[in-house]
Chain A
Amino acid sequence: MESTQVVIIGGGATGAGILWDLSLRGIKAVLLEQKDLANGATGRCHGLLHSGGRYVVKDIEAARECLAENQFVKKIAPHCVHDVGGLFVQYPQDDPAFFRQWEEAARTVGLASQHLSAEETLDLEPHLPKNILGAFTCPDAHVDVFQLAQSNIESAVSRGGAFRTYSEVTAIGITDGRVRSVSYRDTRNGDEFQIGCDMVINASGGWAQKVASLAGVDVPVRCDKGSLLIFNHNLVSRVVNRCRKPGDADILVPAGPVCVLGTSSITVPTPDGLTADPDEIQHLLGLGAELIPVLAEARVLRIFSGARPLYVPKSAGAAGGREISRGFALLDHETLDHVKGFVSIVGGKLTTYRLMAEVTANLVAAKLGVNEPCRTTETPLRQTIDETVLSRARKLLPAQAASIAERRLGPNLARIVAAIERRPELAEIICECEQVTLAELEFVLGDETLVPIRALTDVGRRTRLGFGPCQGTFCGYKAMLAGYRSHRWSAAEASTEFEHYLDARWKGQSFVSHGKQVEQLYLSHDLFGVTYNFHDQNGQ
């Protein structure tokens, strides 16, 4: 039986952050994720790197935490962050008393903020409604959630950490009140495995309760569903928050080429199989148009839902989604439930993932008798890129493609550049919307990457391929062919991969009930369903 010191369950930001932290301390760990990295809340969130502004009035501790982590993440992972800044906009329909409270609380927390007049604000963000009263600035940013999860894993792997995707934990072996092993099943081929270990960390977010039950332990987690709308292009250049008590659809985040509006807050029984319902979408769109009027006519690319894992200690009673603390809890099941070697980290936010990893790793290191301090606040997640590689890339690729590749690939850009220099045809742009080259695609499909994919649907999370307006209509097929040509998949496998790919891409679009995306979806249906005879599960 394979063995390691620590098994981490869950490949979201928290689990990935823990793997990196442990690897930096020299602790051997294997991360198991039931699907692909960032399959859970991490890949289904706004990607707002909170400055704390959203919490200053209600929860000053959470605000302080966010502010500190905001600065750490910007420092250690600049390639994952669009440091765009944010605004808390004062709308005439909102409570002016809140504006004063906000300003005061921001000062108390030490949030760098400046008040802008209505004209100054409109100058920066012309899409805001003309009747706004002004805005406060704040250091909000966007963080690319897929990059962040991937970067933590990549760095961890280069330091000896290991991870396995499509590996669902099915049992936690306990003898004499102590965790001894973890069993998991490869969800792509059904193979069963077991790893011996000294400790197990439950970082499975909304699934934490279910995973904890494998060790006979109860972890009360409430799943709070939030739905998000992705718009085709950037309609704002900074994060726009509504300066009021946090509510639905009051944040618009410029997230790379797209922008993301959200969210709602609805308690659900499980994080699996979430969908947005039509009322919810109309509700979000209506409020979105209050935030930025042009959202009413802008193109929605897709709609998706995630579940916030909210920790509800038994004392919390029946409070609803937004009333429960967004703080996190580290549960040592040795002291709580007499199960040695088992800890859970639950709740929290994407923004605080590093801190959550730190406290978890501190506890685990102490239990393992490892005396290494946490170094994640000062160790960059990625090495800098060689200047000569950059200038070679700029010669080979158009300006925007070079700039995208540089941010996404980091030091791996050297491989892409060398590959294109050897075979110039690899400079072909396969995904036009997101400017992904054939060279990058082949790299992601190949064996040299430290974060290999297993399914065609994983390619988007590594490269953004298929994330633009056509939603994979034209590039998904080419990516499948590239996988076939590189002998990753046989013809039959490639075709199955593509069917799954289409299903996944179609699903997120099928909730968009209006506008150009409906036509886009029909184009894809007609092309692949009717013309190429790929099956069509949605029957649309």
Chain B
Amino acid sequence: MSEHEQRTPVALTGLSADAPHLQPAARRPELVERVITILFAGGIILCLGFGVAYWQNWSSWTLGATMGGGLSLLGIGLIAWGKYLMPRGPFVEERHSLASSEDERTAFAAAIVERGGAVVKRRKVLGGMLGTGLGIFGVVSLFPVVRSLGPMPKGTFFHTDWKKGTYLVDITGRRVNVADLALGSIVTVFPEGMQDTDNGQAVDQTVLIRLSNQDFTTKKGRESWAPMGYVAYSKLCTHLGCPVGLYEQELELLVCPCHQSMFNVANGAMPTFGPAPRPLPQLPLMVDANGYLQSQSDFTEPVGPGFWERRS
């Protein structure tokens, strides 16, 4: 028998060691102890297994199973230990009021108001100046912190890289010829040279669709924009700027997978469903002598979602 077990603990509050509060909550503590022993043994084995699994570079699920299983078994055992083998209680603790006495409060308020007042009253101008100075510093220091983060928006959202005579190329950089697309098919195009750039992919992206109607006009004033049934729209959804990536061929609808806005290709990409408020801007097209497609100009309105500076 070790020295520790020979000690007889006595509660200072007069509670004897065999009082019901100090008994384990379990009706059969020996059984619980045996179960916990098994749990802990399993936990030890699995934690060792985790080390082995890592060392041997076994699969991710082996690592997770050993680690998760090991931790869980140790944890469940420990909870059971606390719940069933430790004193069942219940015990009580007084809740002392956090509030101070009336005198302490008065003294505190007096210290703040009177002592502070005595100093500030005589030095009002100084205090005001210090406040003004720190205030100015606070506002001024916002400029380098916020302003230096990025450029002013200026014309950022108003222009793309499409210009007069820019060739339409696909993602690999190949120019698109009028003979390339089957009727009813669609391809994503970029201004030549921009297909590999962030701005080209994010801002200039345009869908080119070949419709069966050769003399195609989507809207009044756009008579020359869609030569030989080729029509091009900005691929940026006017709702939140997702790429309008789905094309419903029979209904001639462009669909945005993000929030299901739909645009009628045959009618100037007017929105027919969903939260998009405006039609997709149309890119005016022309065909060069060899049959390659070019843009007549930039988009005639800002592409993508709405923003404050956008004129209606």
Task: Note whether A and B form a binding pair.
Answer: no
